[in-house]
Amino acid sequence: MFMTRLEIAVENFEDALAAQEGGADSIEIAASLDQNGLTPSWGVVRSIQTALQIETHVMIRPTARDFIYTRAEIDLILAQVRAFAALGVTGVVFGAHTPTGNLDLGLIRQVSQALAEAAPAQGPKPILTVHRALDSCVDPHAALAKLVTFVPRVLSAGHAPNAWEGREDMRRWTSRFGDRICFVASGGLKADQLKSYVSYTKVPVVHLGSAARTEDKIDSAKVRMLRQLIG
C-alpha cells in the first residue's frame, strides 16, 4: 500500500520534540527558517540527535546570499558535513549553483564524498538530500537526470514557486525517477492541499513547516492532524 511519510522543518529542540510527538517520520533541522534555512549549530543538532528516535536531516547552508559558494565557504561546508555525519545524523541537506546558474554537480559530489568518509563505522550510512537549489537552476529537468545517478534524495517544489504550482513536475518526476531517488515535496503546501497533492503526485515524502506551526512553534496537534491527512 502506498504511504507518504511526513517531514517537519524545525529550528530547535522544542520544535523537534513536538514534531516527534505529533507523529512525524523525520525532521529537517535548520536555523533561520525565515531565510529558507541556514546551517544550525552543532549543539542544537547534538541535543536533538541524542534525544529523538526519528530521522534527522541537517541543512548545510552557510549563507542566505545565494547558492554560489566561495572557497572559504566550501571549506566550511565540508567541515560542517563531517561534523554532523560524525554525530550519526540520518543525512544532510545541501545544494549549490555554478556562476552560470547550473546545478553545481561537482561540489555536490564533494559533499556526498565527505559525508560518506565521515560516517560512523557502525550503523546506517548518512544520506545526501539535494534541496531546492535544483528548482532555481537553469535546467532542473536535465540536472535531475544527472542527480539520480549519485544522490538518493531530492527536496523540491518542481520547477515552480511553490509545491502546489509545481505538482505537474513532481508527478512526472516521481513517475520517471521514483524507483531511483526519493522525492521530498517542499514549498508552502497547505493542509487543505495535502490529500489532493499526495494522491496526484504519489510523492513518497512531504516536507512541511508553517502548516505545522502555531505562533511560530511546532504544534504537535497540528503535526498529528497533518499526519492523518496524508495517510
Q: With residue 230 as reference, give the H or E element that holds it.
A: helix 220-230
Q: % helix / strand / coil in the chain, to the nearest 5?
A: 40, 20, 40
- Please tell me the distance from the alpha carbon of residue 69 to that of residue 81, in angstroms, as a whole number: 15
Q: C-alpha 61: how far from its chain's center? A: 12
pTM of the predicted model over 0.75: yes
The Cβ of residue 138 has, within 10 Å, a number of other Cβ atoms equal to 12
Q: Which residues contact 18 (CB under 8 A, 6 or more apart)?
A: 217, 218, 219, 220, 223
Model pLDDT, residue 2: 67
- Please tell me the distance from the alpha carbon of residue 223 to that of residue 162, in angstroms, as a whole number: 20
> C-alpha cell of 93?
541537506
The Cβ of residue 193 has, within 10 Å, a number of other Cβ atoms equal to 16
DSSP 38: B
Q: Mean pLDDT across the stretch 58-78?
A: 98
pLDDT over 60 (residue 1): no
Render pLDDT for 150-167 as a digit per residue (tens, 0 to 9): 999 999 999 899 999 999
Going along the chain from its start, the domains and CATH numbers come out as: 5-230 (3.20.20.380)
